[in-house]
Structure 1
Amino acid sequence: MATNIKSSNFNQAGYVQGPLKWAIAFSASLGAILEVIDTSIVNVALTSMQASLGATVSEIGWVVTGYAIANVVLIPLSAWLGDYFGKKNYFIFSLIGFTIASVICGLSVNLPMLIVSRIAQGLFGGGLLAKAQAILFETFPPAEQGLAQAVFGVGVISGPAIGPTLGGYLTDALGWRWIFFINIPFGILAVVMSSMFLPQDKGKSEAKNQAVDWLGIGLLVVAIGCMQTFLEEGEQEDWFSSGFITTLAIASILGLVLFIWRELKTPHPAVDLRVLHHRSLAAGSFLSAIVGMGLYGALFAVPIFAQSILHFTATQTGLLLAPGALASAIVMVMLGKLSTKVDARILIAIGGVGTAMVMFDLSKLTSQTGADDLFWPLVWRGAFTVLMFLPLSLATLGSLPKKDISSGSGFYNLTRQLGGSIGIAILTTLLDKREAFHRAMLLSHLSPYSPETNQRLDLLTAAMQNQGMDATTAHQQALALLSQTVDIQAAVLSFADIFRVVGVAFLCSLPLLLFLGKGGAGAKAPVH
């Protein structure tokens, strides 16, 4: 089943014209949205999965880790796979594989089956995100890139917030298996739409006549796979005190060096690193990694604060993030036309400073903070995020020649994903270290010789005795409550620290804008 796509649907520059281009945009973006949502939808269901499958905390974590590793390994290979099999064929194949893997995830009867199917889901999903963005850049002319990337960006930006919301509701109402089954109707719809509307590649693929760079692929798997595992498992294994983590770090560095050497030497690389000679791509990808660290790191910290400090349920936490996701979607649509008329660097700077201010505002949270106190900071975070994401994509990829779009998009999306993983790893470690520091500092002020401490302890003991406890039990319970109060306050202070760190990181990244072009405001039609 396919739409009869005639030559009249293309203009002289090779871009699609008429309603067909929007059908292509929605088809490609739907696949990307499915992939992005599935990176976070399982997080709120891990406890239910653990109980259902009889897994430990560390074992169930591989449901997330396996998907992330497979995802980042495939992203840089998506350009070569698209050239080898055809962009349309590969995109549809990835959609079908992702949907089937989702079914198997939902039907899993044990943990190994779930982990293997999640890895398969990640492998197929890795071909959707970068490929969807490349398809849009190849479909729309420069003057319309803002609107096209806005359609794509709504899902990519909102997905990490929609995932926990949807996952929490489905887990509480229907059970954890439905966070995978929900992909079936949307996956089928995306396959049908892509079959109907995506144009077939013109001409015969030259990649099929070239030798497959198996060595490059193998080195990429070692380098990126070990790096992602290092980032996912490092905190749990106490980083370099673990031989396993140390081995992963060495293997990742060695694999990366050999991979770069191989790809620059071979005439037909699996990942074309030569596209980095475009200054906008090199600078934009580096900035994308930093933006990914801050964005995904901040988004990771808020749900943990809500659940561990404010004791929100999974559904309540999801609903807390929903207004921010809605704000992102609204601003993304509004920015669609404006982004091609305004210097991208100005918009990114406004987004970076605004996000930093929001982070500094979040650092003032206390244990008494409620949902109302978080509403506007999270709404503003969602709005300012878009001011960085959309213009940065246009400034990085908008001026690339069409032949380099696929490779450039794959590298750009990889740096954002890895930046997010690095950010989460750093912030998780920092959260743990700062909590221990603050607890030690707070305990240093609690002394049996302190009148304030003794007064507080006497009040708590008296309250326990009023509930019918004997003096000894009441005193022990009072000590436990005092210790719990210290733990909560130490956790709150540590969250404040990491929000400030994210804010400072955004401000420190702003000088990188000097290496970017004007993006949509100064973009020229790419060379064919």
Structure 2
Amino acid sequence: MTNISSSPNSKAELSPEAFAGYVQGPLKWAIALTAALGAILEVIDTSIVNVALTEIQATLGATISEVGWVVTAYAIANVILIPLSAWLGDFFGKKTYFVFSMVGFTLSSVLCGFSVNLPMLIVARILQGLCGGGLLAKAQAILFESFPPAEQGLAQAVFGVGVIAGPAIGPTLGGYLTDSLGWRWIFFINLPVGIVATIMALLFLRPDAKKRSQQRQPVDWWGILFLIIAVGSLQTLLEEGETEGWFDSPFIIRLAIAAVVGLFLFIRRELRVKHPAVDLRVLRHRALAAGSLYSGILGMGLYGALFAVPLFAQGILRYSATQTGWLLAPGALASAIMMVLLGKISTKVDARILIGMGAIGTTLVMFDLAQITPQTGTDNLFWPLVWRGATTVLMFLPLSLATLGGLPPEDISAGSGFYNLMRQLGGSIGIAILASLLDRRQTFHRAMLLTDLSGYDRETLQRLEALTGYFQSRGVDAAIAQQQALETLDRLVSLQSAVLSYADIFRFVGIIFLCSLPLLLFLGKGGRGAKAPVGH
């Protein structure tokens, strides 16, 4: 992966043969920006809708459970397409497929904005998710194919800014657009960016090689079907599990069975067929296998923490969507700055050291966030969220290099698809676990607090007397004042139990990162000229 094309025009334009060499001069940075725009569009649209669900529900006349499918439909379609992106890129051509995905994502975004009812919006979101899945994995693969190992750090930093900052930018942008222009503009905003990115892709990405023999290879329809069943069922289970009561629901049980059976049939099929839709054989590279697993853990921390903080801000601190977005913005900025700084040295330092520093740093940040109280405010959250943004980058960028940087050229696309799939699934698993944990721990803490509040406890009686006296001093009847005092005390218990449950999930995320450290032993160094370890 180090030879440069020897054609006369190699300094200006790369040979169309796949992996014939690396791009030279300013063109490679134009390619990096093009890939980054595609990734940013996809990642932001994962979270931008969340803050607008109430407005969408009111406009389209949907119930809370129905409008949730606006998010779920996108996520399911997204994770189904990510592992197929390598095969689709080889079948249709990498540039053709990337441009098609960009155009499709842009047009489906416009369709979302013009939706007149909920079914139309859900169908448009499915199309958007299918096209977005192609953007994310192919964007990263394009960078690895275009930049030499010595410059991979900066190239992946450009890509990583969007992936890391996107989940924080999404709610900020979504809240602002929803409050000022209406929810439809969270989709229309993709139109100008999508047009620019499409033009850049047509101009700067290297032309596809014409491999008619490869296009005549049979399509692995059974593999695609089993993948849809396995990943689609798993993603739906994760999205709907908490709402349906997990395995108390026959629907969730059926999804779990479908996911297990579909996964078994998918793996069995892909390891036997000559031309699989998803090449699972790339997992023979030990660094890819370990790095993909770590990517899932990173997804849990990246999306899980960003799931908890907005809920705490809006549920406990009573922030608006816009205020919550601004709360997350400094952390996103810290990620962008750290990404650029780290990009310059990441290929010169053992990736495992940087990842370990990031995991330990993120653990400390999570334990710091676990010290929250009902009096916690913006000032208390500012620095922990800034450090969270910085320490996450210490894991994200080196992990990409350690996992994918040493792969042979022919395995990069498949490896990138699997790596990004694990991060997306890790995020979904993390959010599902944390949502369930948040609910269960709140019930636990409430029960524990209520055991300390009894009619025989002197401190409780004194607090009730003080509250009753306060309401009576405002002209309220004694009986009503006592009832209001009891209701106030109940709200205080609920508030305290909620705060304690948020502290628990922050602590849980920190412990997960601490327990992930042994995986570093299986990763590659990720530095210049790194080779991917192969398992035996």
TM-score band, normalised by shorter chain: over 0.9
Q: Amino acid of the residue matched to residue 285 of structure 2?
A: H
Tell me how far 1:524 sits from its aligned partner: 5.2
Tell me which of 445, 449, 452 is aligned to 1:445. Answer: 452
- Amino acid across the alignment from 2:189: I
Structure 2 distance, partners of 1:363, 1:225, is 34
Q: Does 1:40 align with 2:43?
A: no
- What is the one-letter code of the residue matched to 1:300? F
C-alpha deviations, 1:44-95, integer Å up to 9, x for none? 1111111111111111110100000000000000001111111101100001
Mapping 1:181-220, distance limit 5 Å: 181-220=188-227
Show the 5 A alignment for 1:411-426. 411-426=418-433
Find out whether 1:236 has 2:243 as its counterpart.
Answer: yes
Q: Which residue of 2 aligns with 1:8?
A: 11
Say whether residues 1:366 and 2:373 are aligned partners: yes
Return the alpha-carbon distance in structure 2 between the equivalents of residues 321 and 146 of structure 1.
25
Consecutive aligned runs of 4 or more in structure 1 exceeding 2 Å deviation: 5-13
- The reply on whether 1:394 has 2:394 as its aligned counterpart is no
Q: How does 1:297-446 map to 2 (within 5 A)?
A: 297-446=304-453
- Name the SS for the 2:430 alignment partner: helix
2:477 paired with 1:470: yes
Deviates more, 1:48-57 or 1:319-328: 48-57
Between stretches 457-466 and 56-65, larger displacement belongs to 457-466
Checking the alignment, whether the CA contact within 8 Å between 2:339 and 2:397 is kept in structure 1 is yes
Say which of 90, 113, 116 aligns to 1:109: 116
Q: Deviations over 1:6-61 (max 9, x none)?
A: 44336896111011111111111101110000000011111111111111111111
CA distance in 1, matches of 2:390, 2:78: 27
Equivalent residue, structure 2, for 1:506: 513
Shift of 1:463: 1.4
Distance in structure 2 (CA, Å) of the matches to 1:112 and 1:187? 24
Q: Which structure 2 residue ranges, 5 or more long, are not aligned?
A: 1-7
In structure 2, the partner of 1:166 is: 173
CA distance in 2, matches of 1:7, 1:525: 27
Aligned-residue offset at 1:203? 4.0
Tell me how large the CA RMSD over aligned residues is. Answer: 1.4
- State how far apart, in whole Å, the 1-side matches of 2:527 and 2:128 are: 34
Deviation, structure 1 residue 451: 1.3
Take 1:337 and 1:375, find their aligned partners in 2: how far apart are those partners? 27
**Aligned residues: percent identity?**
73
Q: Which piece of structure 1 moves more, 120-129 or 206-215?
A: 206-215
> TM-score scaled by structure 2?
0.96
Deviates more, 1:110-119 or 1:381-390: 110-119
Cα distance in structure 1, aligned partners of 2:528 and 2:493: 53
Rounded Cα–Cα distance in structure 2 between residues aligned with 1:62 and 1:107:
17
Query: Is 1:248 matched with 2:265?
Result: no
Which among 244, 259, 266 is matched to residue 266 of structure 2?
Answer: 259
| Counterpart contact for 2:143–2:155, Cα < 8 Å | yes
Q: Secondary structure at the match of 2:175?
A: helix
- SS state at 2:244 partner: coil
Residues 148-174 of structure 1, C-alpha deviations (whole Å, 9 max, x = no match): 000000001000000001001111111
By how many angstroms is 1:318 displaced?
0.1
Q: State whether residues 351 and 398 of structure 2, in contact with CA within 8 Å, keep that contact through their aligned partners in structure 1.
A: yes
After superposition, the Cα gap between the structure-2 partners of 1:524 and 1:279, relative to the gap in structure 1 and judged at 3 Å, is closer
The alignment status of 1:156 with 2:159, answered yes or no, reads no
**Equivalent of 1:77, from 73, 81, 84?**
84
8 Å contact from structure 1 (residues 141, 525) kept in 2: no
Q: How many residues align?
A: 522
User: Cα offset for 1:475?
Assistant: 1.2
Distance 1:296 1:477 in 2: 39
3-state SS, counterpart of residue 9 of structure 1: coil
Tell me if structure 2 keeps the 8 A contact 1:43–1:64.
yes
Aligned to 2:4: none
Q: Is the 8 A contact 2:406 2:529 kept in 1?
A: no
Q: Per the alignment, in what secondary structure is the counterpart of residue 234 of structure 1? A: helix
TM-score relative to the length of structure 1: 0.97
Summarize deviations over 1:173-197 as a string: whole Å, max 9, x none. Answer: 1111110010000000000000000
* 2:280 maps to amino acid: L
Equivalent residue in structure 2 for 1:87, among 71, 90, 94: 94
2:226 is aligned with 1:223 = no
